[in-house]
Structure 1
């Protein structure tokens, strides 16, 4: 019986090691993606209008946001984030980087120049 008990203990130990190795492998496979490409929002200002106007944009938690602004007149964009962010844009094309959003929630991006909401960033 002692020999049988030892064999069972050895087999259990080997299976236990295999289970731990498998579990560790699964932990690695279920880690969140490290792909953090920025979310790009194209914004067009023309006369007194802006496109998009009031749209919602989904942003994965931890990703940065870049605004590609094309405008016929200079102005300013304000982001109601924590901390709040403001950025000026000129005539032509301007790229504005807002950095990474590490807090989930809704963040309004508006034109102070026109007094209009451009988009709401839905970070989740």
Structure 2
């Protein structure tokens, strides 16, 4: 009988752990957004991304020259990046849609749906 209980407990633990690996939802892990800026080409472009309210978001920016991103949040944020790889953490505290754009090319990178 105790063996059945142990197997049941292991099965329940496996199910619970499987549910904890979701990305970007209510998980306590940081959501990551990767941005590439090469010359006049910026990726992603005009992507809709759901992000959690009041949770950290990590931006990883790979660029061939220094620059600046604009985050049209409340308050507006300016995110400077260097040539090479730059990592920045942001937290959005107001629900709604926030646009993220590259300053130099006026490219809309993403519409962040803050929920």
**TM-score w.r.t. length of structure 1:** 0.68
- Please tell me whether residue 109 in structure 1 is matched to residue 100 in structure 2: yes
CA RMSD, 1 decimal: 1.6
Match of 1:84 in 2: 76
After TM superposition, the score normalised by the length of structure 2 is: 0.73
Runs of 4+ in 1 over 3 A off after TM superposition: none
Unpaired runs of 5+ residues, structure 1, are 1-32
Match of 1:68, SS? strand
- Report the count of equivalent residues: 91
State the 1:65 CA deviation. 1.4
For structure 2, the 5+ residue unaligned runs are 1-24
Between Structure 1 and Structure 2, the one with more helix by share is 1
Contact persistence 1:36–1:62 (CA under 8 A): no
